[in-house]
Amino acid sequence: MPLKVPDNLPAKEILKNESIFIMDESRAFSQDIRPLKIVILNLMPKKEETEVDLLRSLSNSPLQIDVTFAHMGTHESKNTSKEHLSTFYKVIDDISHNKYDGMIITGAPVETLEFDEVSYIDELRRIFEWSKSNVYSTLHICWGAQAALNYHYNIKKYPLEKKLFGVFEHYEVGKRVNLLRGFDDIFYVPHSRHTEIKEADILKNEKLNLVCKSDEAGVNIVTAKRGRQIFIAGHFEYNAQTLANEYFRDLSKGLEIEIPKNYFRDDDPKKNPIVKWRSHCMNLYTNWLNYYVYQETPYDITAIN
């Protein structure tokens, strides 16, 4: 799939070196086709790493995608330069008049806080409300999924006794959905979190559909409004080294952290990780773009409501 991104975005060169098709803005303008307009609200501290992970995940479809990056206007990022943000990012106020085929809202390292304790929660809630009428399908990840489920459906999050950390087996539940088309009966997803949403809370809400779960990691994917809202507790988009980097970072800080489960070869941190989720990640994002965005969004994007 040709991803249309700004000509000088740093992530572009990384992805090109991975043989991922990145289209320059100048070339995209010459094509007589309406690209899918996707906005990514990046709540992660190291935004450039998340950009690469998400653009890589979106790269396996033949559809042309016009990507816009957004960040919170009420929060100052300490791990991404102001120059990078001013060059490649918007705040929602800058684009609030626009309509988008799809939106991705990432996780954030604030899950141990109560929702009302997060400094930018009011702005984020306004974005959740804005997405209902300005975006056709919104995909929420990890804490972004928890916060959105709480806002839209009053679903609570609960603290875990210890951090859920590793790569876990999952399986589809209920009727088969297009989001998991082509998935194996058992598939793997990375998780890294201190809180969870409970299956019982999802099942008793008639507006929500539990799509897949793990016996060890719990609820993973929930959908609503026929796929116009998708909530993912895990991290399909993680690259091979993400959990390793987190593990060794915490070790270097003297923090108590367990070896991520089912991740390093022979569970030995001295050996390389084994990637078990890459193909399903590509499949998930391709399915979302095709069945929940491209096939459903009106060609006249202004008609989204």
Chain mean pLDDT for the chain: 92
pLDDT of 139-158, one tens digit each? Answer: 999 999 999 999 999 999 99
Q: Identify the pLDDT of residue 174.
A: 83
Residues in contact with 73: Cβ distance below 8 Å, sequence separation at least 6, in sequence order: 91, 92, 93, 123
3-state secondary structure 202-241: HHCCCCEEEEEEECCCEEEEEEEHHHCEEEECCCCCCCCC
Q: How many CB atoms lie under 10 A from the CB of residue 202?
A: 20
Mean pLDDT of the region 15-37: 63
The answer to whether residue 235 is catalytic is: yes
pLDDT confidence bin for 30, thresholds 50/70/90: very low
Q: Report whether pLDDT(299) > 60.
A: yes
Say which DSSP state 259 is in.
Answer: P
Task: Work out the pLDDT band at 176, boundaries 50, 70, 90.
Answer: confident
Q: Which of 142, 170, 172, 280 is catalytic?
A: 142
| 69's tokens | 């990056």
23 pLDDT above the threshold of 80: no
Residue 12 CB: number of other CB atoms within 10 A?
20
Residues 178-232 pLDDT 10s: 999 999 999 999 999 999 999 999 999 999 999 999 999 999 999 999 899 999 9
Give yes or no for a contact between 188 and 171, defined as CB atoms under 8 angstroms apart: no
Q: Can 97 be counted among the known catalytic residues?
A: no
Cα torsion 57, 58, 60, 62 to 10°: value is 180
Residues across the chain: 305
Q: What is the pLDDT of residues 86-131, one digit of tens each?
A: 999 999 999 999 999 999 999 999 999 999 999 999 999 999 999 9
Rounded Cα–Cα distance for residues 277 and 283 (Å): 10
The pLDDT confidence band at residue 46, using thresholds 50, 70 and 90, is very high
Give the pLDDT score at 141.
98
Q: Is 237 a catalytic residue?
A: yes
Q: Which amino acid is at 93?
A: D
The predicted structure's pLDDT at residue 31: 45
Which entry of 48, 51, 111, 237 is annotated as an active-site residue? Answer: 237
From the list 55, 68, 69, 67, the residue with the least C-alpha distance to 21 is: 55
d(CA 74, CA 253): 29
Active-site entry in 71, 170, 235, 280:
235
Percent of the chain with pLDDT over 90: 77
Say what the pLDDT of residue 21 is: 53
Return the pLDDT at 1.
46
